[in-house]
């Protein structure tokens, strides 16, 4: 590796795993032999270099060296997306050591951070100052940059994407310079970078506005899905500021989670105290192992799946409608949930009003009822799927002029996010026909109802589909991308597949299509090649 580097950039010498430029003394913290895996182990890649900068100067240096060495750069955080968006055989940048809080104003809530900070680290820093993020998704392992770059959202009519709290950004571009942007400064770059998909550069600094810290009193209750549908347009989403639903189609039931902020005075007076939820069946060591092994058994005997799901549902939430669990927790804890096992995930955003039709038709299809009831033109015979389907709501961003160009949520009203998962027990994929048919039918329905896919998840779409769904905004995003990265330093197979399409010319620094093979630990190992040079010889 050192010889190859020195043949391209003569001022680089190898010292341990750290490259040091003899002229400027800025470290280039890179090493080879690193295996990058997604959290779910769905994809593995072997980057030529794994780079962990600790300063802005180091980020800019990595970009400048990549340009001289004619290499593509990919950025990753925790790799929680189950897709191949963070995979590369070229250079992989990780910002875990670029994670400082640069400034924090307790009075205004304005906070400036380095982009690699993980959400749990940011939440801890804000809490120490009496502040909090107004909303979170279901996990807090993501870097802040990764969360906003893929369109992470919470579970509330009052909040849209996590990125709606962002006031300004700094991004290091392919020419090695760092640009600042905000709603009033480089506004098109700002709207593109708010959901960048790793295609514009490396986010390095984020300015956001936090809120006073708060705790949530929450409860989750079992109910029949018929009752959920009957209250959909009245009280289901408005009773509490934060609401999410887990729907179990085989049981025709749902678990409704509702959370309301606790008045600070009640906590100070002791009228309300923090109270952790009881450990449920999923989260107990025994329950975790039993469900894991039952899922594995169902790989060989798929017809057992509904019975397994019913058993685990009852053990986790209770067997009777009305069974309730409750707790009072700081918001940074209350929002989180256990993702359990490796999984494939397919999530789409549709209009909130379309929710009852979506669940009714999907339930009818999975139950094998006549096509006239579900109108999904694929046979579900022998199809057995895992539970739950996660059902979450998100509000529209308040200012259309600050909305990310590629925001998948509805522009003119609240969105419903439906998340269909298939577990991979012990990293073993379900029978391929199961996952493919489930997602084929699910996506057909989502498209019919005016949906768009969540960028971080698994989905099937072409550039033509995305152009039709996003209209003018798709073209504006691509215009920004071409301007800031004309040679394709941040373009790989994922970006080619969805953003550029197959008709556009190959870019000089673009990483070409992945070749896949089965990885030892499950999932797929992918290998790309650079658009020019020895990799194509």
Predicted pLDDT at 21: 54
Predicted pLDDT at 335: 96
pLDDT tens digits for 323-379? 999 999 999 999 999 999 999 999 999 999 999 999 999 999 999 999 999 999 999
Burial (CB < 10 A; 0-12, 13-18, 19+), residue 534, is exposed
Closest to 202 measured CA to CA, from 400, 53, 333: 53
Distance of CA 282 to the CA centre of its chain: 22
CB 116 within 8 A of CB 143: yes
Mean pLDDT, range 177-199, rounded to an integer: 97
Q: How far apart are CA 193 and CA 171, in angstroms?
A: 8
List of long-range contacts for 300-307, beta carbons under 8 Å, 24+ apart: 302/382, 302/384, 302/431, 302/434, 303/384, 305/250, 305/384, 305/385, 305/386, 306/250, 306/384
Mean pLDDT, range 1-11, rounded to an integer: 40
Q: What mean pLDDT, rounded, does the chain reach?
A: 92
Structure-model confidence comparison of residues 504 and 317, the more confident one = 317
Predicted pLDDT at 3: 40
Q: How far apart are CA 404 and CA 209, in angstroms?
A: 17
Backbone angles phi, psi at 91, to 5 degrees: -105, 130
CB 90 within 8 A of CB 530: yes
Predicted pLDDT at 534: 46
Structure-model confidence comparison of residues 433 and 113, the more confident one = 113
Predicted pLDDT at 283: 83
Predicted pLDDT at 488: 97
pLDDT tens digits for 485-508? 999 999 999 999 999 988 889 999
User: Hey, which residues does 423 pair with through a beta bridge?
Assistant: 343
Percent above pLDDT 90 for the chain: 85
Q: Which of the four pLDDT bands, split at 50, 70 and 90, describes residue 515? A: confident
Predicted pLDDT at 293: 97
Backbone angles phi, psi at 158, to 5 degrees: -90, -5
Q: Which of the four pLDDT bands, split at 50, 70 and 90, describes residue 400? A: low
CB 421 within 8 A of CB 427: no
Q: Which of the four pLDDT bands, split at 50, 70 and 90, describes residue 16? A: very low
Strands, sheet with 202-209, edge to edge from the N-terminal-most edge strand: 101-104, 110-114, 202-209, 166-172, 178-181
Question: In the predicted model, is pLDDT for residue 8 greater than 70?
Answer: no
pLDDT tens digits for 88-117? 999 999 999 999 999 999 999 999 999 999
Give me Rg for the CA atoms of the chain. Answer: 24
Question: In the predicted model, is pLDDT for residue 149 greater than 50?
Answer: yes
Question: In the predicted model, is pLDDT for residue 18 greater than 70?
Answer: no
Question: In the predicted model, is pLDDT for residue 12 greater than 50?
Answer: no
Mean pLDDT, range 467-472, rounded to an integer: 97
Q: How far apart are CA 312 and CA 291, in angstroms?
A: 7
Comparing 4-8, 54-58, 316-320, which segment has the lowest mean pLDDT?
Answer: 4-8
Closest to 312 measured CA to CA, from 283, 337, 336: 283
Strands, sheet with 515-518, edge to edge from the N-terminal-most edge strand: 36-37, 43-45, 524-527, 515-518
Predicted pLDDT at 15: 40
CB 466 within 8 A of CB 453: no
pTM of the model: 0.93
Q: Which of the four pLDDT bands, split at 50, 70 and 90, describes residue 1? A: very low
Predicted pLDDT at 402: 82
Percent above pLDDT 70 for the chain: 94
For the chain, the first-to-last Cα distance in angstroms comes to: 19
pLDDT tens digits for 241-255? 999 999 999 999 999
Question: In the predicted model, is pLDDT for residue 396 greater than 80?
Answer: no
């Amino acid at each position: 590796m050192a010889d190859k580097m020195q043949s391209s950039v003569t001022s680089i010498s190898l010292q341990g795993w750290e490259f040091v430029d003899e002229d400027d003394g800025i470290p280039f913290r890179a090493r080879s032999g690193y295996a990058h895996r997604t959290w779910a182990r769905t994809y593995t890649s072997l980057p030529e270099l794994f780079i962990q900068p600790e300063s802005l100067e180091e980020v800019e240096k990595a970009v400048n060296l990549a340009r001289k060495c004619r290499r593509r750069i990919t950025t990753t955080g925790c790799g929680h997306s189950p897709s191949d968006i963070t995979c590369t055989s070229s250079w992989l940048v990780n910002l875990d050591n670029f994670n400082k809080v640069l400034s924090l104003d307790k009075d205004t809530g304005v906070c400036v951070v380095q982009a690699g900070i993980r959400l749990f680290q940011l939440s801890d820093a804000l809490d120490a100052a009496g502040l909090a993020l107004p909303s979170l998704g279901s996990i807090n392992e993501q870097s802040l940059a990764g969360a906003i770059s893929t369109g992470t959202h919470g579970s509330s009519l009052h909040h849209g994407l996590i990125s709606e709290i962002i006031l300004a950004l700094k991004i290091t571009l392919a020419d090695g310079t760092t640009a600042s942007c905000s709603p009033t400064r480089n506004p098109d770059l700002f709207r593109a970078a708010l959901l960048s998909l790793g295609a514009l550069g490396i986010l390095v600094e984020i300015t956001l506005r936090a809120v006073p810290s708060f705790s949530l009193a929450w409860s989750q209750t079992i109910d029949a899905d018929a009752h959920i549908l009957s209250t959909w347009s009245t009280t289901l989403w408005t009773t509490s500021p934060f609401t999410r639903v887990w729907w179990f189609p085989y049981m025709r039931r749902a678990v409704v989670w509702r959370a309301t902020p606790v008045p600070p005075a009640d906590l100070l007076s002791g009228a309300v105290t923090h109270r952790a939820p009881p450990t449920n069946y999923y989260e107990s060591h025994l329950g975790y192992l039993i469900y894991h092994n039952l899922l594995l058994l169902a790989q060989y005997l798929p017809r057992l799946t509904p019975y397994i799901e019913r058993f685990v549902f009852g053990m986790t939430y209770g067997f009777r409608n009305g069974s309730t669990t409750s707790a009072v927790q700081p918001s940074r804890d209350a929002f989180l949930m256990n993702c359990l096992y490796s999984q494939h995930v397919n999530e789409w955003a549709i209009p909130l009003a379309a929710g009852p039709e979506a669940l009714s038709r999907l339930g009818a299809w999975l139950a094998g009822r006549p096509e006239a009831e579900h109108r999904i033109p694929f046979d579900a015979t022998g199809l057995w799927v895992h539970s739950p389907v996660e059902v979450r709501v998100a509000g529209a961003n308040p200012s259309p002029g600050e909305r990310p160009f590629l925001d998948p949520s509805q522009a003119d009203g609240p969105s419903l996010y439906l998340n269909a998962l298939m577990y991979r027990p012990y990293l073993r994929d379900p029978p391929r026909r199961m996952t493919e048919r489930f997602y084929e039918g699910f996506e057909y329905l989502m498209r019919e109802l005016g949906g768009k896919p969540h960028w971080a998840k698994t989905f099937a779409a072409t550039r033509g589909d995305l152009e039709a769904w996003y209209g003018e905004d798709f073209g504006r995003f691509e215009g920004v991308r071409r301007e800031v990265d004309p040679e394709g330093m941040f373009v790989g197979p994922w970006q080619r597949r969805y953003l550029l399409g197959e008709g556009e010319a190959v870019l000089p620094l673009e990483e070409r299509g992945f070749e896949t093979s089965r990885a030892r630990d499950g999932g797929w190992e992918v290998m790309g090649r650079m658009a020019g040079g020895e990799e194509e010889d």
